[in-house]
Each structure stands twice: as structure tokens, then as C-alpha cells.
Amino acid sequence: MSLIVQKYGGTSLASIERIKAVAEKIKKIKDDNNQLVVSVSAMSGETNRLIKVANQIHNNPSVREMDVLLTTGEQITISLLSMALHQINCDAISYTGPQVQIITDSKHGKARIKTIQDHKIRKSLAENKVVVIAGFQGVDINGNITTLGRGGSDTTAVALSATLKADECQIYTDVDGVYTADPRIEPNAKRMNVVSYEEMLEMSSLGSKVLQIRSVEFASKYKVPLRVLSSMIEKPKGTLITDEENIMEKVLISGIAHNKDEAKLSLINVANEPGTAYKILSAISDANIEIDMIIQGASDNEEMTNLAFTVNRNDFDNAKEILKRIGNEVNAKDIRYDNKVVKVSLVGVGMRSHTGIASRMFKALHKENINIQMISTSEIKISVIIDEKYLELAVRSLHDAFKLDMIREDNF
Ligand code: ADP
Ligand code: ASP
Ligand code: MG
């Protein structure tokens, strides 16, 4: 008998019919002599709807109350899915995060899981029940309800798998695995059979929202065999995320990630002296704003320098206000703002051993007349910031330039 943890995302539970279809799928797997723990998201659109409602009541709602509100979405789906299972004679029980004691820190809206108590889950499994657990939520040591950040149900599922030492963690979503690019942007994107934890970490951190980054961190740390699959098709093949050494077939580039949530801020002609970058960037991070890319470069005057960085678009207005203040302190000649930029990244462990990838990437963008505004690289990725109007064109031309639609074809 295997113990399987599954997660069903919002689109998989978007209607009564879908919930019933998921229940049928679960029953079949259980009847195949498996134990099942199922973590679910809210119905698709529900979390966004709740955020909108809150913003109509208060222009800056309390983070604690937001968590109380947003966790209701998952409370609906755990109960409905359990009822759908009862209806087809499959014994099941639902639990919220606090009920099973998914203990997190107290950072509302982006809490991290510290521990999960397993006795309730084990007891219900021993009673031959499917255990349905609300994703995305937990409770801090003071009893406050917390949420794990957008897409957090993935992390709930992986953390449950690690705690219960599950044989596999299956993330069911609306695409059949991890693709060489977001299939909604690049129709020629190909499903990958396997991806390493490391590549998936980069893809997630660079914007591929198919898996929340923390779920991949967890999976990598606790060696959870993680599979992404479609809940919409009969026999999904999916993608296995595993250790690099388990992957026989090596590829140069595994995928293209993009992030639409970028905003760029630049200070022109600030003093080229020790402490300038510190003054500017610490003011931003003191306001709890995460900085993504940073470039400091020469200006037309040796005593002056230019500094540009990107933040999440949600933080754009705050960052702007801070820069207006700091800009005066560092005597910036000009401050420029642009929240119509996106980040496009090439990811692949093969980059470690190959040169010339960057120039191939830049050539492809040049061919399409796409201007690169910022560049950042690491061992296994190259990212560029470009105007948002070129997003689709950039993703597709890079996909084409690196022949990503060919590489995987013989793997199917
Ligand atoms: P769920 O509601 O099931 O959690 P998400 O919307 O969070 O689903 O994640 C699935 C979506 O991730 C897909 O519909 C797809 O548009 C997007 N996505 C982005 N990059 C990729 C990629 N490389 N491979 C597959 N899907 C991707
Ligand atoms: N419902 C939450 C969200 O929309 C969590 C999740 O879907 O994983 O972000
Ligand atoms: Mg998701």
C-alpha cells in the first residue's frame, strides 16, 4: 500500500462537475489500495474575488484579517470535496490547516510552515478515510490563522508529503506538467518528462507559477518525489521533479520563464562614492520591499553613477515614494519609473558547461528588435528585463532560437 499526497488547484475544482470528477479520480486511486491525503486550493477566482471585496471595504486591510478572509476559500473546497466523496461511498474527512496544526511563523500573507502534527491525519488514514486538508493555510503559535502566499497550496502538499514520508506528491493542475515555456504564451512549448529540483527552483523563482517556489525548496530539502500532472485528462504523463543525478538525458536549456510582475526604478547621476547604493537600497528593503535585479553603471561623469533596480509591481507605488525622498538625499539628477516591464529568463543546468548561450539569446532578441533594459545571470540562468509589449514575441523567439520544441520531442 502506498501513501500518496495529492494537490488539486483552483481550476481543477472550479465547478460542481469538476469537484465531482476529482472525487471520482480520488476514489479510483484509493480503491487501487492506496492511502490518500489530498490538499486543495480555493475554487479558481475565489481568492482574487475575496481580495477585491476586502479592498472595497478598506484601502489597506489588516494582514491578519486578510488571512482570516482568504482561508475561507479553501474551507469551502475541503468540505465540498469531502461531501462529493461521501456521495460516491468513499469515506473522507476534511481538516482546515489549524485543525491539523500546520504551524507557521506569524508573517501574515507569506507565512512559512514550521511543523505539521501528523497524529490526526494518521488516525483518519488508519480509519480508511481519505484525508482532505485545506491548502495555503496554517496557524501561528498564538492561534492566529496565517496564509502561505499566493500559490501556497503547492507548499502545503509538499510539506505534508515530507511530514508523512509519502511515496509521492502529485500536484494536479490545468496543464500536464512543466513545459519548456508557459504553454499559454508559447503554443509550441513541450512537456518535460523530468526536471531537476535546481532547475525548477530557478523556473519558479523567475515566475513560472506552475509550482510555488517554496514547494520546490521543501521538495528539494526533504527529497520529496514531486510530480506535476493534469487533472483534466484521462491518462496524464506529467513531469517528475527530482535530483539532477537521477536525470539521464542532459539538455542545455530546459525552459523559458517569465514574470509579468516587474517594475523598474532608476536613479540617474547619483554620487559615485561608498554608501550610495547602501543608502538607496536599504531604504527600500527597510520598507519590506524585495529588490530583484540591480544594476549600477557608469554615467557620463566619473563622479556620478546610475543605479537601477526592479521590484514587484505591487510594491511600485511604495518604492516610488521612498525614492522621491532618497533621491534628494543622494542628489539624483533624475529618477525614472517604469512599471510596464517584464522579465524573461532562460534556465538550464547545461549553461554551466557551455559558453555562448548569452550571445545566442541576445542575438535572438536583437533579430526581433527587442531592446534589453537590464541583464542578470547566474550559473544556470540568464534574465533580461524588456518592455512588456514584447513578452510573447521574446518568449517565442527564444523558444525557437534554442529549438526547445525539438529537444523534448523524442521523449514522449
Ligand atoms: P493551480 O490553480 O492548479 O495551482 P496555477 O495557475 O497556479 O494552477 O499554475 C498552472 C499554470 O502555470 C498553467 O496554467 C500555466 O499557464 C502556468 N505556467 C507558467 N509557466 C509554466 C511552465 N513552464 N509549465 C507549465 N505551466 C506553466
Ligand atoms: N487559493 C490560493 C491562491 O489563489 C492558494 C493556491 O491556489 O495555491 O493563491
Ligand atoms: Mg498554483
239-265 pLDDT tens trace: 999 988 777 777 788 899 999 999 999
26 and 164 inside one domain: yes
Residues 213, 354, 391: CA angle, nearest 5 degrees: 50
Question: Whose alpha carbon is nearest atom 21 of ligand 1?
Answer: 182
Chain segment 357-378, per-residue pLDDT in tens:
999 999 999 999 999 999 999 9
- Average per-residue pLDDT for the chain: 93
Does the pLDDT at position 92 exceed 80? yes
How many domains does the chain fold into?
2
pLDDT for res 332? 84
Q: Is residue 294 part of a domain?
A: yes
pLDDT for res 288? 86
Amino acid at 70: L
Give me the mean pLDDT over the 318-326 stretch: 91
Q: Is residue 202 part of a domain?
A: no
Ligand 1: nearest atom to the Cα of 44: 2
Strands ordered across the beta sheet of 145-147: 113-116, 102-104, 137-139, 145-147
**What are the strands, taking DSSP E only, across 141-249?**
145-147, 168-173, 194-196, 226-230, 239-242
Q: Is the pTM of this model over 0.75?
A: yes
Q: Which range of residues forms the domain containing residue 53?
A: 2-174
Q: Is residue 197 part of a domain?
A: no
Using an 8 Å Cβ cutoff, are 174 and 147 in contact? Answer: no
What is the length of the chain? 412
- Range picked from 136-150, 349-363, 391-405 for highest mean pLDDT: 136-150
Exposed, middle or buried by CB within 10 Å (0-12, 13-18, 19+), for 335?
Answer: middle
Q: Is residue 165 part of a domain?
A: yes
11 and 131 inside one domain: yes
Residue 74 or 349, more confident: 74
Confidence of residue 409 (pLDDT cuts 50, 70, 90): very low
Of the listed ligands, the closest to the CA of 9 is 1
Of the listed ligands, the closest to the CA of 134 is 2
Q: Is residue 207 part of a domain?
A: no
Ligand 2: nearest atom to the Cα of 153: 8
Cβ of 151 closer than 6 Å to ligand 2, yes or no, is yes
pLDDT for res 189? 95
pLDDT for res 347? 94
Q: Is residue 19 part of a domain?
A: yes
CATH of the domain at 399: 3.30.2130.10
pLDDT for res 69? 98
Q: How far is the CA of 202 from the centre of ligand 2 (A)?
A: 20
Give me the mean pLDDT over the 303-318 stretch: 91
CATH of the domain at 42: 3.40.1160.10
Q: Is residue 205 part of a domain?
A: no
Q: Is residue 335 part of a domain?
A: yes
Chain segment 327-345, per-residue pLDDT in tens:
888 888 889 999 999 999 9
Give me the mean pLDDT over the 276-305 stretch: 86
Confidence of residue 407 (pLDDT cuts 50, 70, 90): low
165 and 263 inside one domain: no
**Look-up of cell digits 480508511:** 128
- Ligand 1 binding pocket (C-beta < 6 A) is 9-11, 41, 151, 173-175, 178-179, 181-184, 208-210, 255
Confidence of residue 150 (pLDDT cuts 50, 70, 90): very high
